[in-house]
Amino acid sequence: MRIETALGKFLLQLQADGRSVLTADQRRRHVLAFAAWLAAEHRTQDLGRITHEVVAEFMVSPAARSRRDGGIKRATSTNQLRTSLRCFFGYCEEAGLVRRSPAKLLKLARCSSRPPTAITDAECRRLFTTLSKSDDPRAARDHALFHLLRATGARIGAALALAVADVDFRRREIALLFNKNDSPTTVPINDALRRHLRAYIGKRREGPLFLGRDGQPMSGRNARARLRIWAEKAGIDRSLSPHAFRHALGMDVYRRTGDLLLTQAALGHRAIASTTSYARADTARVRAALA
């Protein structure tokens, strides 16, 4: 069986297992990168003839280690590639497509997690000021979306899945029904966001909160593209993702409280290990303690 055929079966299993679209897309891209390297090197695409030596050769090749701009990938990025190959070939072994996974010997490189990349307060002010002064008809939607992300720490997928009815102005909260790990939750909204959303929603009573094309919810790809456009207009000369708003909230809560458990609750982390990165990023507290 060829890799492309097995990949289709693997992606179907990921869907059946309830894995996220983003996870499935990453696995697909990584396996296709391996298949493209095999083709470029005139190697076999037959699953049964791929050995662990072939996988190792791929992992040390420029195809696996280099970015598109020619630079070297971070260790965390190559670890993601290793994980994708381990998952794909692990599935092939369990499904009986190969006798033994040729990626079983792959080990993750030891690396420390990077500090969270958050949008700064100054960047946020410039971004929101630029949006508020724009005559672009989509600016009001984008402004409301980015304000919600910054004020609640919601993940972009959960925010874009919101319906107008999910905003409860009386209780001052929003119901995030499509959260990570299928864990619906409610998050409080402050007065500034409450007023902003009231003005943005207007007389609407139903439908997606953040509208994209043809009355459908705005897509994640569109949201990321819009953020890049507005950041450039605001004079922010670095790359930002919607997750930068979530990181900003996490760092803000930790700096104000110094409480990891409270920060964990604010962000909805299931494991405290995910929250400790905000403590590592707060060098100001370290300096104060050592002063």
CATH topology for 3-94? DNA polymerase; domain 1 (1.10.150)
pLDDT at residue 20 in the model: 80
**Closest listed residue to residue 221, CA positions, set 25, 7, 17, 77:** 25
CATH topology of domain 121-286: hpI Integrase; Chain A (1.10.443)
Q: Where in the chain is the domain with CATH 1.10.150?
A: 3-94
Amino acid at 78: T
pTM for the structure as a whole: 0.66
- For 70-83, the pLDDT digits (tens) are 788 888 889 999 99
The pLDDT assigned to 260 comes to 82
How much is the pLDDT for 193?
96
Residues of the chain with CATH 1.10.443.10: 121-286
**What pLDDT is recorded for position 256?**
86
Low-confidence ranges of the chain (pLDDT < 50): none
pLDDT digits (tens, 9 = 90+) for 150-206: 999 999 999 999 999 999 999 999 998 876 655 678 899 999 999 999 999 999 999
